[in-house]
A and B are shown apart, each in its own frame.
Chain A
Amino acid sequence: MHNTVLIILLISLSAASLLIGVSKFSLSELVSGDDLVTQIIILSRIPRLASIVMAGAALSISGLIMQSLTRNRFVSPTTAGTMEFARFGMLISLIAIPHFSPLMKMAVIFAFSLAGSFLFMGMLKRIKVKNTVFVPLLGLMLGNVIGSLTTFLAYRYDLVQNVSTWLMGNFAMITQGRYELLYLSIPLLVVAFLYANKFTIAGMGEDFAVGLGLNYQQVVTVGLSLVSLLSALVVITVGRIPFLGLIVPNIAAMYRGDNLRNSLSTTALAGPVFLLAADILGRVVIAPYEIPIGLTVGVCGSLIFLYLVLKGERK
C-alpha cells in the first residue's frame, strides 16, 4: 500500500467525516458561508476530525514503538496494560486531586501509565520467554487485574459512571475546548520520527544494539515515555480505544517491512484512516444515534487480531 493511496483515502474520509452528522448541510451551504453551518463545522466537526486523526496516529505509533522495543508483533498499549494503567491513574487523580487543573491530572495519568509500561517491561525481562503468544497474554491479564482494581476503587468512591465513560472511547463528546490537549501529541510524534532509526536498532536486541554503540537503556526509556504520554493523552480526551495500536502497525509492516524509517509514516497514515472509517461506520449504523468508537474498533480489532494470530500459527 503506497503512502499516496493512504493520503487520498485520508483526505476523502476526512471530507466525509466533516459532512456526515445529525445536522445535515450540503457543500454549497458550506462554501456560501452560512453562519450556522460554519459554527457546526468549527465547534463540532473540525474538533472531532482533528482528534480522530491525532488519536489514530498516536495510538498506532505507540503500538509500533512497543512492538519494536519488545520484539513482539502482538504488543500494544492494549495488550501491555498501558491503557488500563492510564485509566487507573485517571481514577486516582479524580479521587486525590479533583480540583486540580487538567494538566496536573495529565501528569498523574502519565506517571501511572509510565509506571505500568516499565512494570510490564520489567516482567518481560525477568521471565525471558521467547514465546510470542505469552507476552500479549500476560499484558492482557495485567490490564485485566488493573481494570478490576479500578472498578473496585470506583465502587468505593462512587465513580463507576466516570470510569465506564473512559472504558469505551467515544468521539461524540468532543467539541471545541475539550480536546486541545491532544495537540501535544504532534511534537511527541515528531520525536518518534527522529528516534525511528534508534528504535529499529533497539529492536534487534539489547546485545546487538549495545554492540552497535547504542545507548540501549536511554532509547528504551524514551520509547516507553513516548508510548505512555501518547496513551495518556488519548485516554484523557477520548477514552480507551482497544487494539488500534496492535493491528495498524501489523498491517503496515506487511507492506513496508520492519524498518521503522519506512513503516512509521505508513503507520501514522493508516491509523487515522482506520479510525476515521470506524468512526463513520459507528455514526451511520444507527443514525441519528451513534456507537462509541471503542466498540466499533473493539469488534473489528479483535477479529483482525484473531486473524493475525491464527495466520502466524499456520506459518
Chain B
Amino acid sequence: MRPNSDRTKLLVMTGLAALALILYIVVGLNSRNWQYALSLRVPKLIAIVLTGCAIAVSTVVFQTVTNNRILTPSIMGLDSLYLLIQSLALYVFGANSQIVVNPKLNFALAVVGMIGFAVLLYRLLFRREDHDLLFLLLVGVIMGTFFDSGSSFVQMVIDPNEFATLQNRMLASFNNVNTDILWIAGAVLAVVLVYTSRYTHILDVLALGREHAINLGIRYEAVVRRLLILVAIMVSVSTGLVGPIMFLGLLVANMAREILTAHYHKYLLIAACLISVLALTGGQFLAERVFNFATPISVVINLVGGLYFILLLLKESRA
C-alpha cells in the first residue's frame, strides 16, 4: 500500500508545481504585452526548472552517498568553487580570450574543473574508513569560505574594466539568469538525469550504508566516484544558471524524505525535484509580483535553511 500513497503524494506535488509554473507564466499577460512578456518569462522559467532539478537531484544523491541528511554539495562549498574557477579563468586568460567570451567553452571549462575537484574530494575525504560527519561538515564549511573569499579576492585583482563587462554573466542570480548557457546546460542536465535514473536501485542499496552495499555486491568505490562526478556536473549547471543558493538542496531533500513514507530513490528524486521547482517558482513569483523585488529569494531560502540546519545539527548532537 505504501508506494501507492506515495504515488498520490507525487501526483499532488506535480499538480502544485504545474500550478505554480502556469501562474508564473500567465499572471499579468494581456493581448498587447504577451509576446514580450513570454520572451522574458519562458527562458527564466526554464532556467528555474533546470536549477531546481539539478539542486534537488545532486543533493539527494550526495546525501545518500555520504549517508547523512545534513551534508549537501553547497555546504561542502561546491557552488563557491564554481565561482572561483570562473574568476580564475577570467584572471588567467583575460576578458578577450575565447575561454571567457564563448559561453559554451567557458561552461565546459568550469565543468571540467568541478569534476577534477570532485575526484580530489573523493580521494581526500571519502576514502577514509572512519570519516566523521561533523568533521566533514566543518571542513566543507571552511572550504566554502575559502573558495568564497578566494573568488572575491581574484575579482578584486582583476582589472575593474575587464571585470565590469563580465560581471553580469559571472555573478548570475535569480533576477539575472544566465540565459547564454540555457540550452547547453539543459542538454547536459538531461543526459546526467537519464544516467542517474539508471542508478536509482543502486542508490537504494547505497542508502543501507557502505558495508551492506558492498555485501550486496555493489562495486562501492567505482559507483561512489561516478555519482560524485555526476553531482559535480549538476552543481555546475545550477550555479552557472542562477548562482549559489546555499540551503535550497538541504531543505528540499529533507522535505522529500519527510513527506514520502517509503524511501525509494525512484520516488525520492522526483519528489525532491517537484518540491524544489515549486519552491523556486512560487518564491520567485512572490518575490517579483507580490513583494516587487524587495527581497531576493535566495536570502529568504538562506534564512529558513540556516535555521533548519541548526535544528538538524542539534538533533544530530543528541542522538
Contacts and interface: CB of A to CB of B under 8 A. Distances in A.
Interface in A111-161: 127, 129, 131, 133-134, 136-138, 140-142, 144-145, 148-149, 151-152, 155-156
Given A156-B294, A286-B157, A295-B152, A133 B303 contact: no
A291 B313 contact: no
A21 interface: no
B120 interface: no
A296 B318 contact: no
Contacts of A155: 294-296, 299
A193 interface: no
Nearest to B318: A127
A298 interface: yes
B157 A137 contact: no
| Chain A interface size range | 35 or more
A20 interface: no
A299 B153 contact: yes
A296 B299 CA distance: 25
B143 interface: yes
A291 B303 contact: no
Interface residues of B, number: 34
A286 B303 CA distance: 35
Contact of B142 (A148, A156, A286, A309): A309
A73 B150 CA distance: 24
Interface string A192-215: 000000000000000000000000
A148 B302 contact: yes
Contact of B149 (A138, A285, A302, A309): A302
B93 to A, nearest CB: 18
Given A155-B295, A302-B145, A137 B156 contact: no
Contacts of A303: 146
Given A138-B313, A291-B157, A151 B299 contact: yes
Contact of B299 (A152, A302, A306, A310): A152
Interface in B274-319: 294-296, 299-300, 302-303, 306-307, 309-310, 313-314, 317-318
A131 B149 contact: no
Contacts of A144: 246, 302, 306, 309
Interface in B138-194: 138-139, 141-143, 145-146, 148-150, 152-153, 156-157
B80 to A, nearest CB: 11
A308 B38 CA distance: 53
Contact of A309 (B139, B148, B302, B313): B139
B132 interface: yes
Contacts of B309: 141, 144
B317 A298 contact: no
Interface in B34-81: none
A242 interface: yes
B96 to A, nearest CB: 20
Which interface residue of B138, B148, B296, B300 has the most chain A CB atoms within 10 A? B138
Contacts of B132: 133, 313
B310 A141 contact: yes
B295 to A, nearest CB: 5
Contacts of B296: 155
Nearest to A305: B142
B138 A309 contact: yes
A145 B157 contact: no
Given A131-B134, A144-B302, A291-B156, A137 B141 contact: yes
A141 B156 CA distance: 27
B163 to A, nearest CB: 12
Nearest to B143: A306
A145 B153 contact: no
Contact of B317 (A131, A149, A291): A131
A288 to B, nearest CB: 12
Contacts of A313: 132, 135
Contacts of A138: 310, 313-314
Contact of B295 (A152, A286, A299): A152
Q: 4 tightest A-B contacts by CB?
A: A298-B149, A302-B146, A145-B306, A148-B303
Interface of A: 74, 127, 129, 131, 133-134, 136-138, 140-142, 144-145, 148-149, 151-152, 155-156, 168, 242, 285-286, 289, 291-292, 294-296, 298-299, 302-303, 305-306, 309-310, 313
9 contacts: A137-B134, A144-B302, A145-B306, A155-B299, A168-B152, A242-B149, A286-B157, A295-B156, A310-B139
Interface of B: 132, 134-135, 137-139, 141-143, 145-146, 148-150, 152-153, 156-157, 246, 294-296, 299-300, 302-303, 306-307, 309-310, 313-314, 317-318
Given A152-B295, A306-B139, 4 more contacts: A137-B134, A138-B314, A292-B156, A295-B156
